[in-house]
Amino acid sequence: MDLHLTGKTAVVTGASRGIGLADVEALTAEGVTVVAAARTITPELKETGALAVPVDLATPDGPAHLVERATAELGGDFDILVNNVGGGDGGEGRTGGFLSFTDEQWQQALELNLLAAVRTSRAALPALVRKRGALVDISSNGARIPHAGPVPYTAAKAALTAFGKALAEEFGPQGVRVNTVSPGPVRTALWESPDGYGAELARAMGVTQRELLAGIPTAMGMTTGRLVEPSEVAALVAYLASPVAGSTSGADFLIDGGAVKTA
């Protein structure tokens, strides 16, 4: 299917690895010129040919700096924003339950998973209005099943999903489509890294990380029997960003192997 994206321009946040990197790869393959933002510019990101911008979007000034740099690099307004940056759901100290989380951990989760998108969207929306563009937020199915991950992370993602719906309502009449993609467990470093959330969860459960990963689809009720691939999420993002999805706005798309059973 031709998504009619050739010649479009985009900004993708959290682009160094995982879903963000896959988003960059999918969009560039469709002929989009991409400005890719990340705290660390990885060799894999450089290989995509995207215009890489090092920036910390968890800081108050980072998002505005990114949009300014993107506009300069692209020579004007851009058509697409993908708010992918996120975190706070991995590593040591994330499996102890609600009472184990400090104010600092809550603040980190909110900065990365909500406020980074709020600030980036605020800086980017004037350009997206002028271009009658598209905005895609990457949330999580944890927004609908908040017990499925660290509570600061899932609560922040639930807020991000609500934020996307509010933007769709306000900016839809101005020509901007806003949609949300909510993946379940995706085959990324979060689950597979020896120091990520998957490793920490395995230790807390008294199983090996390999055993944990093998059991996730069954434990989560994923009828596909496997984790989601980053490229599958990216394909949905590219579609939603394209003119082919011109009548789709204000929607939240699950891509979680059937884990969430409700409508």
d(Cα 160, Cα 48) in Å, to the nearest integer?
28
Strands 9-12 and 33-38: parallel
d(Cα 181, Cα 163) in Å, to the nearest integer?
13
| Token code pair at residue 8 | 């479009």
In the residue annotation, 239 being an active-site residue is answered as no
Q: What are phi and psi of 17, to 5 degrees?
A: -160, 175
| Token code pair at residue 95 | 């499996």
Rounded to 5°, angle at Cα 138 from 20 and 258 = 105
Cβ atoms of 190 and 138 closer than 8 Å: no
Cβ atoms of 257 and 186 closer than 8 Å: no
Considering the candidates 33, 89, 94, 153, report the single residue annotated as catalytic: 153
The β-bridge partners of 36 are 12, 52
Residues annotated catalytic, as ranges: 153
